[in-house]
Structure 1
Amino acid sequence: MTPAARPSAGADWRDVPLAPVVLLFGPEEFIASRALDGLRRKLRDQNQELEITTLDAATYSAGTLGMVASPSLFSEPKLIEASNLSSMSDDFLADALAYLSDPAPDVTLTLMHGGGTRGKRLLDALKAAGVPRVDCLALKKDQEKSAFVTAEFQLARRRIDAQAVRALVAAVGANLSELAAACQQLIADTTGMVDSDAVDKYYGGRVEATAFRVADAALAGNAPVALSSLRHALATGVDPVPLVAALAMKVRQVAKVHSARGSSAQLGRDLGMAPWQVDAARRDAGHWTAEGLAAAIQALAEADAQVKGAARDPLYAVERAVTLIATSARR
């Protein structure tokens, strides 16, 4: 590539730059798909006659890349999407290295690598050439998922409050594609500011959302609401295991911030929490003494073992833990 064709590496998956070659690297298929969709839109905006070809690097045959990259009869621009680079054949590695030294004009080659070290020579060559690399990494922390939700609403020029973001991540945050779909549904089906009531209307029946409500009420010392929410959940068949897990997560967060000093942003970085999680945990921490937290942690450890088979009545075990926690907190 010529120096003028060398964009900076580390590209944003929401705005992939146009370049002769682009690397999508990482295991999160949803982010890779969104990045590729955005790149297709950009190229089609330039020319509706864009020709798209897909290649599987794992089953690739020598010479195919050069053939599909060669000019067509009417010289339409081309997008070549090569997937499965983490299982690439030796033929693909050789052809891709050769192609990188002399990319075809009016062709965009996207290389999708799921992670790992397979094809390290190619990865090193792409880095040396300044090829833009889009990291497609799984969003594992609630802080990352919360930022994702906020960005989805900002792109749609809509607002969602912090409590609603928290509730949505708690309800559907396990899978990024589901979380994105939930954002789009709320954007399409609501008007104005999206609040936690709107999230509860659409997703309140999910196990995660139910656990979220029980845990919030228990940590705040609101025993009537915590127990009524819990009994409704258990009566409708909710497994007690995620309920205990949600309570444990909440108690751990309160314990982390109980004696901590510093800004929400600083503590969030130090403790691996989002700033709004720090703020919420601090509010709950006001209801607790160190001794009360120790008792709650002990009760949850016992409940966790009981709901996983150590007790004959796991439903009673989780209700006892919720009662103990909710009545130990100071109103």
Structure 2
Amino acid sequence: MRAADVLGRVILVTGKEEFLGARTVEDVKAAVREHDAEAEFSDASAADLTLASLGEMAAPSLFSAVRCVVVRNLENLPDESVEGLVAYAGAPVEDVALVLVHGGGQKGSGVLTKPAQSSGPVTEHKSEELKPSDFPGFVAGEVRRHGATIDREAAVVLIEAVGRDLRSLAGAASQPDQRLPGGADRRGAGPPLLRGPRGGEVLRRGRRGLRRPRPGGAGGACAGRWTRAPPRC
């Protein structure tokens, strides 16, 4: 996600999958922060939002004109604030990224359609609950975020070992050097992913299924390294 994708735009984050919604919000913040290290960030509940408070959060400060405003629980937006929010969505401030987070469900669903139907630049990111068939693709995507690849068979083994909690899967996928290729001992100690009856299978099949780009290949010189944080090249 780039700054051009979020600044001067309204980002609707909808759906019941909390982890994916939170990931989208963090991606927006990261894009704004990369564009301007001194950008300011505001976080508010929709229940407390008024046209005046939205204007205050979107207004430039003495330190930076670039801002990211996150409004959570859009389903709780007061009726008297809907018109003002729709008006803002029709003409958002150029240097502001406004993120509206709706938790899914029927409550407040009518509020979602109004910004989306406005003439302004509005982008919706849906955070729907994953179907069983979606999980291997999710794992593969998480591994790619950290500069490597994993085949479907190894992804399935990882899911069977960790479970279908997205946060846990993302954590496991971010540390393959520690969790897949090695680290278990005969007593069953070692990284959490390798404990239990499936640990040996995860090791064997994980070694075969995990592939990291060679330094200097696609992805740049540091694409082959794997650390706790995403590579910074």
The TM-score normalised by the length of structure 1 is 0.51
Amino acid paired to 2:172: A
Aligned to 1:18: 6
Q: Please name the residue that 1:175 is paired with.
A: 165
Counterpart position of 2:213: none
In structure 2, give the amino acid aligned to 1:158.
A
Q: 2:149 aligns with which of 159, 163, 186?
A: 159
Distance of aligned partners of 1:94 and 1:206 in 2 relative to their CA distance in 1, 3 Å threshold? farther
SS at match of 1:63: helix
Equivalent residue for 1:69, pick from 47, 54, 58: 58
The residue correspondences of 1:45-60 to structure 2 (distance < 5 A) are: 45-60=34-49
Q: Secondary structure at the match of 1:52?
A: strand
Find the structure with the greater CA-based Rg.
1
1:117 is aligned to 106
Question: Which piece of structure 1 moves more, 88-97 or 18-27?
Answer: 88-97
Query: How far apart are the structure 2 equivalents of 1:57 and 1:175?
Result: 28
Alignment counterpart, residue 78 of structure 2, candidates 89, 100, 114: 89
Which one has more relative contact order, counting CA pairs under 8 Å at least 6 apart? 2
Residue 123 of structure 1 aligns with an amino acid whose one-letter code is L
What is the rounded CA distance, in whole Å, between the counterparts of 2:137 and 2:150 in structure 1?
A: 12
Q: Secondary structure at the match of 2:85?
A: helix
**What 5-or-longer segments of structure 2 have no aligned partner?**
183-189, 203-233
Distance 2:136 2:104 in 1: 24
Report the alpha carbon displacement of residue 159 of structure 1 after superposing the two structures with TM. 3.2
The runs of 4+ residues in structure 1 deviating greater than 4 Å are 187-192
Indicate conservation of the 8 Å contact 1:22/1:132, yes or no: yes
2:68–2:97 CA contact under 8 A, matched in 1: yes
Give the 3 Å change call, closer, same or farther, for CA 104–163 of structure 1 in structure 2.
closer
Consecutive unaligned residues in structure 1, runs of 5 or more: 1-13, 193-199, 214-331
Counterparts of residues 140-219 of structure 1 (less than 5 Å): 140-141=131-132, 143-187=133-177, 202-206=192-196, 209=198
2:171 counterpart letter in structure 1: A
SS of the residue 2:11 aligns to = strand
Q: What residue is the counterpart of 2:115 in the other structure?
A: 126
Aligned-residue sequence identity (percent) comes to 29
The whole-number CA distance in structure 1 between the counterparts of 2:158 and 2:82 is 42
Q: Deviations over 1:112-144 (max 9, x none)?
A: 011123334432222223511001112231x21
Amino acid at match of 1:18: V
Specify the SS of the correspondent of 1:42: helix
Counterpart of 2:75, as a letter, is S
Q: Residues 206, 81 of structure 1: CA spacing in aligned structure 2 closer, same or farther, 3 A cutoff?
A: farther
What is the alpha-carbon distance in structure 1 between the residues aligned to residue 50 and residue 139 of structure 2?
41
Among 125, 128, 131, the alignment partner of 1:137 is 128
C-alpha separation in 2, matches of 1:28 and 1:15: 23
**Matched-pair contact (CA < 8 Å) for 1:156–1:187:** no
Structure number with the higher helix fraction is: 1
